[in-house]
Amino acid sequence: MNIQRLKEIREDKDLKQIDIAKVLKTSQKQVSLYENGIRVIPIEKLDILANYYNTSIDYLVGRTNERKPYPKN
């Protein structure tokens, strides 16, 4: 997984880890652990972030460079 992208997209939006922690209903420390690759971010949290950033989980984990989310069926 491309953990660097989690930090990049957060910083692109001028957000702090504490801001994302509130979105994910977790601690700033946990967000730091995700961004540094110490802990694996659960799929449920990736889904929340993809919706929050209006992108796809594939983009967040580095499987695509396309930021646009997939079309909804």
Asked if the structure places residue 25 within a domain, the reply is yes
Asked if the structure places residue 10 within a domain, the reply is yes
Judge residue 6's burial from the number of C-beta atoms within 10 Å of its C-beta, 0-12 exposed, 13-18 middle, 19 or more buried. buried
Q: Mind listing the pLDDT tens digit of every residue in the chain (73 residues)?
A: 667 899 999 999 999 999 999 999 999 999 999 999 999 999 999 999 999 999 999 999 989 998 888 777 7
Contact between 49 and 6 (Cβ < 8 Å): yes
* Domain range for 42: 3-60
- Please state the domain count of the chain: 1
- Count CA within 13 A, CB hemisphere, residue 9: 25
Asked if the structure places residue 65 within a domain, the reply is no
CATH number for the domain spanning 8: value is 1.10.260.40
Asked if the structure places residue 36 within a domain, the reply is yes
Q: Against a cut of 0.75, is the pTM above it?
A: yes
Asked if the structure places residue 41 within a domain, the reply is yes
